[in-house]
Amino acid sequence: MKHWVFLVVKLTASFYSAVVLLNFMVDPSMKCRHTASFAYDYNDATERFLAGGMARYIPYTTAMVGTSMIENFQVEDIDTTLHTHSVKIPFSGGTAKEFALLLTFILDQHHATHILYALDTFSYRKIDPKNEQIANYDYMFGGDPIAWFKYLTNTSTTQKSLTLLRDTLNPTEKNSYPHAFMWASEVTFDEDTVRRDWDLRDRSKLQSAFSPKEYGYEDLKGNFDRYLYPILVSHPNVKFTIFYPPYSFLTWKLAQERGTLDIMMAFKAYTLSKLVALPNVEVYDFQHDPMIYELNNYKDISHYSDDINHVMLERIAHHRDHITPQTLSDHLQQLREDEAKWREMNPDE
């Protein structure tokens, strides 16, 4: 009997040792290395698991950070247009608190001299603490022994390891780092698709968008002051390029319908006035550009094509439309004029 017990214990220990060794060698979430030859699973479900490893191990001097609004930026386009070496780390649906954690972690690696950040108003809304995706951040970014033990013995890690090995044998474009997290080739960008999204706004995921309960001015302002602004101030030697992503004009019409357009515009005016005063920050606002009316460049009322991404990079590279303390007053006047125009527009025409 003792022999069988010993054999079972030995086999169990051998099995778990093999699992731990597999997970350590493959390391699907890049907790200890980035293996260039591996076909990592770059998609919106793995963004938060890969973020720590990408920030640690992929060589870069520029880090692009943002919500799904940055997912279709091509790393090669960033590098070529801005003459840099970049990493792109999106958090789809990311909150202000999440981006504060991510930016702090990136800056603690001392790789980045330049941060590109898409300031998405969505991230600064009021969040029910129960819905924040913060619980696993010690596990994803931490280096303590407990986090390592959980990672190496987790069945999810083993599944990811096996998937990574399978995909490495039969890689697709989505598994290549230059195309990480991109989905533009899988969707349709045209006005009819956007119009359908608009027509279904009260019966789709947009049903709860821009709720006054989440988009209170003090909540938006408080999250900006608490999570983003201190990072900018405390890293004066890092250049921050902050841009407001160009949602289509229908996004603003929806905010008007939900009664939060004036709040969102007031929040933008507040953040602009704070940002332009910082010497290490360059600000670009693409939300008032004529391209927001070209619905053939969108897949829904807010997400735009990679062609628009390239336009933004070109303008950033040449400092076009850069908002400064001297031009802020004129830009705020444009905000007021556009808000009035949006209120008068009939989105169905």
Q: What is the structure's pLDDT at 142?
A: 65
Q: In the chain, what percentage of residues exceed pLDDT 90?
A: 68
DSSP 32: S
Q: What is the structure's pLDDT at 127?
A: 82
Tell me phi and psi for residue 146, to 5 degrees.
-65, -45
Separation CA 263–CA 278 (nearest Å): 24
Output the six-digit token pair for 217.
């001015």
DSSP 221: H
Separation CA 324–CA 29 (nearest Å): 40
Q: What is the structure's pLDDT at 81?
A: 97
Residue 248 lies in a domain: yes
Residue 106 lies in a domain: yes
DSSP secondary structure string, 171-220? --GGGSGGGTT--GGGS--SHHHHHHHHHTTTSSGGGGTT-TTT--HHHH
Runs of H (alpha helix) within 243-347: 249-257, 261-275, 306-317, 328-344
Residue 251 lies in a domain: yes
pTM for the whole structure? 0.92
Lowest mean pLDDT among 162-176, 243-257, 279-293: 162-176
Residue 21 lies in a domain: no
User: How many domains, in total, are found in the chain?
Assistant: 1
Dump pLDDT digits (tens) for 10-42. Answer: 676 677 788 888 888 989 988 888 888 888 989
Q: In the chain, what percentage of residues exceed pLDDT 70?
A: 92
Residue 14 lies in a domain: no
User: In terms of Cα–Cα distance, which of 48, 37, 33 is closest to 181?
Assistant: 48
Task: Tell me: pLDDT of 135 over 50.
Answer: no
User: In terms of Cα–Cα distance, which of 272, 287, 25 is closest to 152?
Assistant: 25
Runs of H (alpha helix) within 128-179: 137-141, 145-153, 155-169
User: In terms of Cα–Cα distance, which of 61, 53, 117, 57 is closest to 90?
Assistant: 117
Dump pLDDT digits (tens) for 195-234. Answer: 999 999 988 889 889 999 999 999 999 999 999 999 999 9
SS3 299: coil
Separation CA 267–CA 220 (nearest Å): 7
- Tell how strand 86-90 and strand 114-118 pair up: unpaired
Dump pLDDT digits (tens) for 185-199. Answer: 999 999 999 999 999
Domain assignment of residue 76, given as a range: 27-344
Tell me phi and psi for residue 205, to 5 degrees.
-60, -15
Of 10 and 305, the one with more pLDDT:
305
Band the pLDDT of 250: cuts 50, 70, 90.
very high
Relative orientation angle of helices 249-257 and 328-344, to the nearest 10 degrees: 70
Residue 295 buriedness (CB in 10 A; 0-12 / 13-18 / 19+): buried
CATH of the domain at 243: 3.40.50.1110
Separation CA 280–CA 235 (nearest Å): 8
Residue 2 lies in a domain: no
Residue 4 lies in a domain: no
Residues 315-336 have a mean pLDDT of 95
Q: What is the structure's pLDDT at 348?
A: 77
Residue 3 lies in a domain: no
Residue 146 buriedness (CB in 10 A; 0-12 / 13-18 / 19+): exposed
